[in-house]
Amino acid sequence: MKTERLTGWRIPLVLLFFWAMYLSLVLLSNTADALKALGILPPDAVFVSGNFGLIQKVVSIYHSPGWLAGLLYAGVLIWQTVGSLWLWQAFAATIRKTPNHLTVTYNALTMLIGLWAAFILADEFFLAYELPGLSATHFSLLIASVATAIAVRIMSYEL
């Protein structure tokens, strides 16, 4: 019975590890991009996302002030920081099988789903769906996050 319980939790563990690692890498490359934009990293820095320039381009449709892109980007960095921390917490809580591991996991996945949903809404507001592949990427990430939440939910009932 114990082996079955461990086997049943491999998929949620792998998914939580993937999302924690993925969002952490995205956060690192976005942070590096911000540091490059601030002149802290050199212009030829390689591990940068390019997302700050993308946000500048997206918000320029309304002739927005320059600080708006910076404010939005800072908001994304904060959201990604909290999301990464919560995903790592969910991964650790699931490994340890703490009494609240499902609550911690659902909170982290809700944060992740909210991030992609916010990007989709921003894509619509700023007409960013006209940029090739951007909205499709956000929709794919949203669907994958929802699928992860569903998988965790189903597997938690089976154990």
pLDDT digits (tens, 9 = 90+) for 73-106: 999 999 999 999 999 999 999 999 899 999 999 9
- The pLDDT, as a whole number, for residue 50 is 93
Cα–Cα distance for residue pair 108/89, rounded to 1 Å: 8
Please list the pLDDT of the chain residue by residue as tens digits (159 residues): 455 555 567 889 999 999 999 999 999 999 999 999 999 999 999 999 999 999 999 999 999 998 999 999 999 999 999 999 999 999 999 999 899 999 999 999 999 999 999 999 999 999 887 788 888 999 999 999 999 999 999 888 654
Q: Counting every residue, how long is the chain?
A: 159
DSSP letter assigned to residue 42? -
- The pLDDT, as a whole number, for residue 73 is 97
Q: Which of 23, 27, 10, 30 is nearest to 108 (CA)?
A: 23
Count other C-beta atoms under 10 Å from residue 93's C-beta. Answer: 19
Return the amino acid letter for 128: A
Return the amino acid letter for 93: A
Model pTM?
0.90
Measured at the alpha carbon of residue 83, what is the angle toward residues 158 and 111, in degrees to the nearest 5?
Answer: 60
- Sole residue written with tokens 């921003």: 122
